[in-house]
Amino acid sequence: ENINTVVFKNSTTASKAVAQEIAQLIKEKQKDNKPCVLGLATGSTPKGLYAELVRLHKEEGLSFKNVVTFNLDEYYPMEPDSIHSYVRFMKELLLDQVDILPENYHIPDGTLAKANISKYCNDYESKIEAAGGLDLQILGIGGNGHIGFNESGSLQNSKTRLVALDHITRVAASKDFGGLSNTPRTAITLGVKKIMEAKRVILMAWGEGKSNIIAQSVEGEVTNKVPASFLQEHNNAVFVLDKESASKL
Ligand code: GLP
């Protein structure tokens, strides 16, 4: 089974369309007096989406008071105030720019003692369940097909956990970290299972560089070599693409 794909002329128009869908969902939930539970991603891909959500808040009064968020992942070890942390990324690009309540956003903690990580990961999943599950999960995709930091080999029923990063993931990240030796070797990631349990999944990808892995994920076999291919088995997943990332479909 193939995944629904929607191709936009560029990442700006695509990001605005995704922001509209999220704004719509937030407002529907507001009308019903319900929380809107969003799974959020980092990386360069969702930056335009977050900029548009901030604009909708500042210029069109979109409120995030009923929004609850769970981020996919964080490097480990990682201090929250480091320029490399996903906590800092999320605060600067979205969370500190809108009226979300501080108790309503969650980002995996990169400062835990190793011995406490597995309990922390179980609790992270319990919090998602207690919130009613993810209404919508936003994803980017790694060049190797990873989602969150579920690298090749991650199982479809994998839980939230500490993972070793693939060499090519570290090479991609090393530009930000100023060299491979400074790049973390591990990360905490939401497991594939919780991603697959989200009621709606939107994976975004931009640029020619993602075109091969997009084609494999959408049209290739469902395999744990390409974790994004698991989304072929999700009943409400869409890949939002620009012309370049869609060019090999
Ligand atoms: C990191 C993140 C992923 C993200 C990927 C792609 O590995 N943990 O969630 O999808 O990078 O990054 P980019 O969007 O910069 O291409």
Predicted confidence (pLDDT) per residue in 106-157, tens digit: 999 999 999 999 999 999 999 999 999 999 999 999 999 999 999 999 999 9
Give the C-alpha distances (Å, rounded to integers) separating 170 from 124, 166, 167, 225, 227: 25, 6, 5, 17, 17
In a domain, 248, yes or no: no
**pLDDT class for 1, splitting at 50, 70, 90?**
low
Model-wide pTM > 0.90: yes
The answer, yes or no, to whether the previous bond of 77 is cis (omega within 30 of 0) is yes
CA 73 to centroid of ligand 1, rounded, Å: 10
Handedness of CA 192, 178, 86, 49 (dihedral sign): negative
Pairing of strands 105-106, 136-139: unpaired
Question: What pLDDT score does 101 carry?
Answer: 98
Residue 222 lies in a domain: yes
Residue 98 belongs to a domain = yes
Asked if residue 247 belongs to a domain, the reply is: no
Rounded distance, CA 131 to CA 37, Å? 7
What range does the domain containing 222 cover? Answer: 4-242
Averaged pLDDT, 181-206: 98
* Residue 177: CA count within 13 A, CB half-sphere: 17
Q: What is the mean pLDDT of the segment spanning 227-247?
A: 98
* Residue ranges lining ligand 1, Cβ < 6 Å: 41-45, 72-73, 140-142, 148-149, 169
ipTM surpasses 0.85: yes
Distinct helix (H) and strand (E) counts, the chain: 7, 10
Domain count, the chain: 1
Burial grade of 91 (CB within 10 A; 0-12, 13-18, 19 or more): middle
The pick from 47, 141, 169 for probing ligand 1's pocket by mutation, whose C-beta has the most ligand atoms within 8 angstroms, reads 141
Question: Could you give the residue numbers annotated as active site?
Answer: 151
**CA–CA dist 184, 168 (Å, integer):** 12
Residue 223 inside a domain? The answer is yes
Q: Which amino acid is at 15?
A: S
Ligand 1 centre to CA of 130 (Å) is 27
Q: Report the separation in Å between the CA atom of 39 and the middle of ligand 1, taken as the mean of its atom positions.
A: 14
- The C-alpha atoms of residue 200 and residue 22 are separated, in whole angstroms, by 11
Kindly report the CATH number assigned to the domain that includes residue 92.
Answer: 3.40.50.1360
